[in-house]
Every structure is written in C-alpha cells, then in structure tokens.
Structure 1
Amino acid sequence: MYSDDELRPVSALQHFMFCPRRAALIYLEGLWSENRFTAEGRLLHRRVHDARRGEKRPGVRVARGLEIRSYRHGLVGKADVVEFHSSSPGQSPQVTIVEYKRGRPKPALDEPFHVQLCAQALCLEEMLGRGVSDGAIFFGRANRRVEVPLDTALREKTLAAIAALHELIGAGRTPAARYQARCRRCSLLHLCLPKALRPRATAARYLALATQPPAPDDA
C-alpha cells in the first residue's frame, strides 16, 4: 500500500505514456507550458465537472468530477463522469466510467487515453469494492463516444505503466531527450529542446533554441 505522500496523479499516466521525459519534466522539474490543445482540454474538463452534479436520467445516475484514489496502486485524481446504470431489483448498479478528451478518435494514438481510463477504473474498483468492466472516451471535436473494454490486456498494460511511473518519479531522474515526430505536438517542446539536447548538439545550437520565442500555439 502507498501512503498519501506517495499518491501520483492519474493524469500523469497519460503524460508518461506519451513520453516519459514529458512526465518527468512536469512532475519532477515542475515545468509546464500550455498551448491551444491543452487549453481546450482544460476548458472541456471544467465544463464537464461544473455541469449538473448528481444529475439523473431515466435509469441512470451520473456523478461528475468524482474524486478518486487508490492506495493499492498509489494514484489520485478525478473521474470526469461515472454513470450508475440501474439493474435488476436487489442488484448493484452497472458502473461505466467516462473520460472526456478534446480531439477526435485516433486509434493509433489513443493508447495513453485508454491507460488513463483504466487506471481511473482501478481506483473506482478499490473505492466501491466491486468490479468496473465498462469504460468510454468522449471526444469533444468529434462529438462522439467510443466504448473502451477494460479487458485483461488493457489492465496488464495499465499496471505496468503505473509501476513504471512510480519508478520514474521515485528515481528522481529525468530521462534524456530524444527527438521523435510526436515532439511537434508537445506543449513542452520549447522547454524540453529534444533536438538541442541530442549528444552531438553544440552549445551554440542549444543557446539558439533556448532563446527563440515559443511557437504561436504555445504563447
């Protein structure tokens, strides 16, 4: 079991799955920079959490911005939406956890979202004392809800990611920079400087990149 001081944000898993160095820059070095995409995501989550709390639809009770934690897995955070679907009399309601994202579904790139969602389900299972088998991601730009089976394969991948995240933060060392195509989408690009910090990068190139203004999306 983890202590309160050892609990890590569930959202850190998404950053870690995207890039371990990004997670270290945020959670070890305290760096953050917002671009249009992160700002849109933050505003979407705020709208979801501030919507009618505890709303009810026929056969469904909806909890928004639900605080979750797991001492077994060392995680803490908020679930955007948790749906409690009525079942047969005398039986516990069926639980579905829903995460909101700003963009559109991209099957080849959505694995970090799935891991984050599954980690939220693990927290909820510990809190409720029962299994949660149904999850979904709502993509704001597409206005589309995509079901995500919380199956054994995803759970194993999520548990491995949780262990690796704890190891990264516990070690207290930021991984070396390595430029990849995905770096272009990262709001921390101008702080991470993956091209400048490659082994063969010169000091002059480092200084040039470090002093250039951020891209328009990062302003």
Structure 2
Amino acid sequence: MTDSDDTLLPISALQHLLYCERQCALIHLEQVWEENRLTAEGAILHERAHGGPDEHRAGVHITRGLAVRSLALQLTGQCDVVEFHLRAGASPPRGLNPLTMDTISHVVPVEYKRGRPKSHQADEVQLCAQALCLEEMLGCRIEIGYLYYGQRRQRTEIAFTDALRISTSEAAARLRVLMTSGQTPPPFYDSGKCDDCSLIEACMPRIDRRSNGAARWFADAVNHSLKE
C-alpha cells in the first residue's frame, strides 16, 4: 500500500452503488449509517470470516482479511478470504519460506454474504473488483472466485468473464463520478429494496418530492439573495 491510497475509494461502495445510488451517497458522501438486523448479521458473518490466523489445508494457503488495492480502478478494500492454491510439490509458507507467485498455481478470492444470491450483480461486481485488485498486485490472472451465502451455507462459483470485468470497471467509474460530484441523488421508493434498507428513516424515500416544492423554492430564494 502507498500514500496514494488516500485517494482510493472503498470496494464495498460498489455494492452500495449497484444496489442504490442514493444509499451509496448517504453512506460514503454524507457518512450516514444505521444498523438493522440484516446489517448486524452481515457484520457478524464478516467478523467470523476475517477472524483467526492464516492457515494451510491440503495444498491451499488461506489468508483472511487481506488488504488489496487497484490504482487502475482507484479502489481499495479488504478480501474476506483469499485462497492461494500451491503448485504440486511446493512447500507451504513458514518462517523464512514466504509465499511467492512461483509456488502458486492459482488465486481464489471468497466473499461472505449473509443472505442468498440476488437478482442484480452487486455481489458479483464487488467480488470481481477484489479479483482485479489481486491481479494488479500479484501480476496474475484470476479466473474464478466464490460468494459464500450464509442462508444457503454454501459457495456460489463466480466466473470473472470479460462482461463482468467490464461491468466492474464501469461501476468503478460511476462511483468516482458520484463521489466527485458531491451530490446525493433524490429519493425514489422501491419496496423490493427500501423496506430492507437500514437507512430508510434517514433516506425517507416515501416522501412525495412535490411536497418539498415550497421548501425547495425558499432555499433557492435564500441562496439567490445571498449571491446578490
């Protein structure tokens, strides 16, 4: 990691962006956060995934809570689990015998989620972003990763196709535009998303924007008078 990491954006923001741009802005621009049962369960699952030391199992070295970054995508974050599959005959890292790319056959990131697979690609994009960070840092190609869903208690394999890589790069660019703009998008109520969102009270998506017309007119009038 370098000093330039101060300008990088969190990988986790991609998941928020693709779920709801207003939610993303509230969290990452306005620093608004509220817990509910779903977010608490997700935090516990991530803590369990990150907990414990690195370990080695049958030719696979497992690292937890690995910090990653991509200067190309301008992203930084932390992988829940990264599996380094060793080449046949390679010794596991210990003491003065470090893990090197010469001893690794392939790398597999694993992201833990509390729920189940979703209809949108937010989870897949977040995992792909981790893979792209690892590729840039390690100088390798990563073909697949896994999403572990707590409700199903099993992994879902995700192939890092060209289409998913493009979607991830585009999402990173959209995130940069949103954060640079400094503007929070207006609310829009979607029962499939809003009812489960921990920020529903702060967001107030059910408020009819037309009812804010007088308040908005007054604010615009005050701003105009201050500029004169």
- RMSD of aligned C-alpha atoms? 1.8
What letter is aligned with 1:186?
C
Distance 2:69 2:37 in 1: 29
Distance 1:202 1:20, change over 3 A: closer
- The alignment partner of 1:174 has SS state of coil
How far off its partner does 1:23 sit?
Answer: 0.5
Match of 2:10 in 1: 9
Aligned residues: 199
Q: Which runs of at least 4 in structure 1 moved beyond 6 Å after TM superposition?
A: none
Maintained 8 Å contact 2:110/2:147: yes
What letter is aligned with 1:100?
Y
Please, what TM-score do these two structures have when normalized by structure 1?
0.86
- The alignment partner of 1:46 has SS state of helix
How far off its partner does 1:5 sit?
Answer: 2.7
Match of 1:102 in 2: 114
How far off its partner does 1:88 sit?
Answer: 4.3
Distance 2:5 2:22 in 1: 24
Correspondence list, 1:165-180, <5 A? 165-180=175-190
Match of 1:55 in 2: 55
How far off its partner does 1:105 sit?
Answer: 2.5
Match of 1:153 in 2: 163
Correspondence list, 1:46-195, <5 A? 46-51=47-52, 53-88=53-88, 92-106=104-118, 108-109=119-120, 111-181=121-191, 182-195=193-206
Distance 1:54 1:44 in 2: 17
- The alignment partner of 2:211 has SS state of coil
Please, what TM-score do these two structures have when normalized by structure 2?
0.83
- The alignment partner of 2:210 has SS state of coil
> Who wins on radius of gyration, i.e. which is larger?
2
How far off its partner does 1:37 sit?
Answer: 0.5
Maintained 8 Å contact 2:5/2:76: no
Q: What stretches of structure 2 of length at least 5 have no aligned partner?
A: 90-101, 214-228
Maintained 8 Å contact 1:195/1:201: no
